[in-house]
Structure 1
Amino acid sequence: MTYKLDTIRLLIAHDSQDDAEQLMNALRNAGRATRAELVLGEDDLLRALKSGSWEMLLCRPAFGGCTLESVMAHLQRLGKTLPVIVLADHFDAGQLRGALALGARAMAPVADRELIMLLVDQQLDYVRMRKERTENEHALREAEKRLAVLMDQSRDAIAYVVDGMHIHANDTYVEMFGYASADDLAGVPVMDMVSAADHEKLKKLLRSRAQDESKTHELACRGVDTRGEEFDATFVFAPSTYDGEACTQIVIRSADVDESVLQEKLQAMSQVDQTTGLYNRLWFMERLEEAVAEVHKTGQMAGLLYLRLDEFEQMQGTVGMEGADEALMLVAGALRKRLGDQVPMARVGDEDFALLLPVQEREDAAPMAEQLRADIEALMPAVQGRTLHLTGSVGVAFVQEDSRNGQTVITRALDCCNKAQKHNSGKGNSVHIHDPMDDVAAGSSEAVALAIRQALEQNSFRLLYQPLMNLSDESDHFFEVFVHLPQKEGDDLKPEAFMPIAAEHGLAAKIDRWVTLHAIRAAMAEKTPLRLLINLSGYSLQDAELAAWIGKALKASKFDPSRLLFQISEGDANTFLKQAQAFAEQIAVLGCRFSISRFAGGINPFKLFEHVPVAMVKFDGSFTQELSKPESRTKFAELITQASNQGKEVLVGFVESAQQMQVLWTLGGVNYLQGFYLQAPGPKLQLSADE
């Protein structure tokens, strides 16, 4: 289903009613079917935002005492994601930067109607794509949920297989073969599921599928479980996909399946938490996804309040499991008493509860969150002969128009709950409400620069090593080195996030030196000789002393320079061409070699070889991602051949699937493969699969 935008629902915030009406007429006269509303002040704006659904906002920098900054703050507070076009009196770069920094999407001179029309069309395309993406993502989630439910509730045993190895299975399949869980089955060969007497039949069938995987094959044989007991079964092999990857689906119909038992299990499935009587997490996530769909359809926001009992483990140790369950039931009762049965609520974890509260604006959720916190603190129940002093911490996040899915919202609410528990010297009993500005501040230039300096001082950067598979020499231990900046909370920052900031503060070269030195030390600690591919930023090439410093580091560590390659991106090599040429020549004298990453991203990549002595190229990851397209595969093969014919070693990264791996094996000229399908980056130089 695609989103068709027939009528522009346009909001115009203006300081002149006559000028605004002329603008509306101009839009209509230009063939844009427009349903517009004019707001002349802040109160009008708030009333319109709360009562209507709009595609776009045309806004003067100031109108009726209201400023653009106030407008953007109201949009954020109300969870509105309207694209805003600013109509300025005097258009200049400074004004544009300021408007974009506040969150506007475009700016035009108020008198330039032609430019305004073009920007309106541009933003309409943006609205269409956003709506289509939202609806497609929602449809995909619904389809995936239906498929997952159908698979889990199927009476037949179902599994998915890649390269003869299991990657997923439903409960029926897992139980049929005696495994404890689907995780225990992951990686187990299909051959292990069939009696030895039927191995030849299975091998013959698999060979037939290798020649044509588009067909469906059946195999009547004897299955064998983990205890060695055999049973009659029919294996049906069919083409399928799992997590976007082509695979084989296996459906097994066994004569030993007791359908009455399966029916009982399905009947016993419940959406209610047995301890508290509240709904469970599965039920709540369905309601949360419905709330996400509703806000995209009607603009109705919701607050997700995530409540966790503080110091639950200590309480459990004091009153035991039964006492803890009694306390949970009392908390559930307090939530029902406060909120009734109309508000969706559930127990979503051991001591975690969640509820959805319809709100008009972000501030509406704070009083209820505080009330729930106070209700828990006031309980003081007598449990197992002890008076418990319960407290709870509440995190609040919002379902709003830019919410992609329910999992994102509940993850954000959980993060806020974790922050609330850190209040009051780690004792919790507090409320933390998500503020979008916290997300911005967390990645601010100043904060990242401070973290970089601390990492340099404390040697706390994190190095990761990903192996490169040499297609002609299995004994070659070759690793690419990546550097991450650890954060106190959340995931590490990757180089693309912090290296530009490091360059602004003159720290890029220091980081590259740190990486080089510590990677060499790690390699020297290994008994087996290995090679390193170390990435440098283009900013480091401006350090005229870098090559000399590398020479000193190699001499001090006694590391074989022929085992060291330095790599920069094609873009940086072209930007700093003279410096790249000088650096490559200087490290060649030392015995090291030079590599170019993200190769062939430009129009004429091979021209770079005329200026820089390049030993190896790592092709841009987009080529790997497009291997399934015949025209892309042909072009890629030609580029590889051209690079190989010019004496360059060829590295292809981003290998994420067996299908990509198979295609790359057939392309001549490839020397190394790399990717998560082979092995993900890790904190250690893992020289073999057993280490």
Structure 2
Amino acid sequence: MSELSVINLLIVDRSRSDIDHIAKTLRGDGYEIELIDTDQAEAARSAIDYQPLDLILLRLADDLPTIAELRLMVAETKQDIPIIVVVDDDYRQQHKPARLLEEGADNYFHLDDADHLMAVVRKELRHLQARKREQSFETRFKESETRTQALLEHIQEALAYIHEGVHIYANPAYLRLFGYESKEDLANIQLVHMVPPGYRDALKSVLRRSIRSGKLVEPVELSGVRSNGQTFPILLECAPTRMNDEPCTQIIVRDVTPEKSAYNQQLEDMLKFDDLTGLYTRRFFVETLELNHDGTVLYLLLTDYAAIRYALGFEAIDRFMLEAAGLIKGMLAPEDLAGTFASGVVAVFVPANSASDPFVLAERIRLAVAEYSFKINGKLFTTTCCIGLCKMHDSHDSAIQILAHADRACEAARQKGGNQVETYDPPREEARSGRAAISEQDEASIRLIRNALTKGRLSLFYQPIVSFENAEEARYKVYLQLLDEADQPQPMDKLGAVAVRYGLMGALDKWTVIRTLTALMEIQQATANSPTLFVRLSQNSLTDKDFLDWFIKRVKESRLAGDRLVLEVKEDNADECFEETRYFRACLRDLGCGLALSHFGGKTHSDRLLKELLPDYIKLDGSLIERLAKAKDENSRRSMALLTQQAQQLKTRVVAAGVSTAPQMASIWQFGVTLVQGNMVAEAGPKLDFDFKQYAG
């Protein structure tokens, strides 16, 4: 169940019995309901304005407020309240799910499906809490940034940010050092003009090295020029960073006059190190993450921090953090960075070149903290910690987003009872949801896909898979066809890639499955013999945790024999999502459905995938068959022969896919392949009426 156990719920409906039914269902799932119900727009507006709401349930009816009206009410109050639409039998056929979402609903459920209601409520509450946590995290970080900005304004270290050679920020210490009165005086002055001509090549060199390496470079000794023309010796260090989300270079300039050197070193240490624990400061840690995205972040929460502070006081908590920091530092490799991040929180960055394995290190720290005896004020006590890991695989993530992901994993470990290590696992659709700008071409494809889903501009085509051994075996590969506004078919190879990239292919997969099951049911009613249909499954659906439950429910509702349906997974997707595919295979076996691995045979370890996944079919890629037909390489032929022989031993049927020429057809016989799909046999068409008997014998 969701972490939130009390729901402040607004139901907009006129049916008292249905309102009571919904409330009773949710209470039966363990929730406490603070209920407000109304069928009037003004009463709904008042509740949204003045009541602390978690969810809004809206019944579709002509005399009730619309989705758009409620969405506007919520938007005007600047609140985050999910709107869930209640769909009854009268409106089920009139309102397609895609249209409900386009009109502003966050989700929907059918009134007569209690399981659907509970699943939707749990999901929306989880998402709501996740958004609130991230918003809280961002707020705290912005407050920290404000404090950091204030620190920059007041420290004595001369610091500036440079973009395309021009100053975009300089703190008062920098202005004083070079003799300028205001930041506006530096607005149009290039950095190279802050040093004499003889030092400009050296300055340009250190800037180039910093940008190319993406890291902080060693300080370089130069000479500076003040506004009055006076020169003085300086030590300059720079590092690529970001300001206002723009790439720039941070420079720190020190006057290396001998009497000031010790003072400058002290300022540097204050900026980089926490004076209590000796760990890096939050500011330095975050800047380091911005510079280096190649590694893993550990977000460590000391469980009893608040209890110790309350029971023993601030002096005791300082001692506790000092001992904990020493314990953690002792387990780090020289390349690892540890910093204080918040009260009772230590963040560790393990770069890719570190000798430490981040997962092993996290477990070592967790065990060491649990076994360590802290001695403070003559008292002996133990504590535990929760650790969240985030592998920084996405270079588009900001440092704060990476830390938010690690914090989310840490919270998951805490909710599971604490003293655990959890790894952040990004949802595939979220990972592909578009942090980078969407191109105009992709945007047009996305609109085309969404319009096709909303307006029903989709259809299925079927290509026969012929058996040269048994004329009674009817099989078809199912292809999805998408039409544009002019009813012209569009190429699904390009559209499919865009749909996968932006997380839309899951909806297309579900549409294809539903239409395929419908076609099979219609055939079953008309004739005793139904064909076996092969439906491709995208990576979006393979990694969607909710898809499998949805699929199982749809198959059971159809009352069809499971062996009438075979799901196809590309070999590349099965390899990348091996655990998901293996679990999917087990569930398909329970249903009686089949699994096919398509585009198969192109990997050096294809034989191992075959042995581990035990698919019902493998479909050899057409390009592979073409190469075998043309090549005289006996090693390639021998490898293919061994692969097909292994498949036959495992009772896996082998399909030659994409066969379009006579030489390809001839080349497959030597490998014992008797199932063939391709234009050489028959092209795809809109009907399931192919005469398989013509290829018998």
Provide the TM-score with structure 1 as the length reference. Answer: 0.35
Larger Rg: 2
Provide the TM-score with structure 2 as the length reference. Answer: 0.34
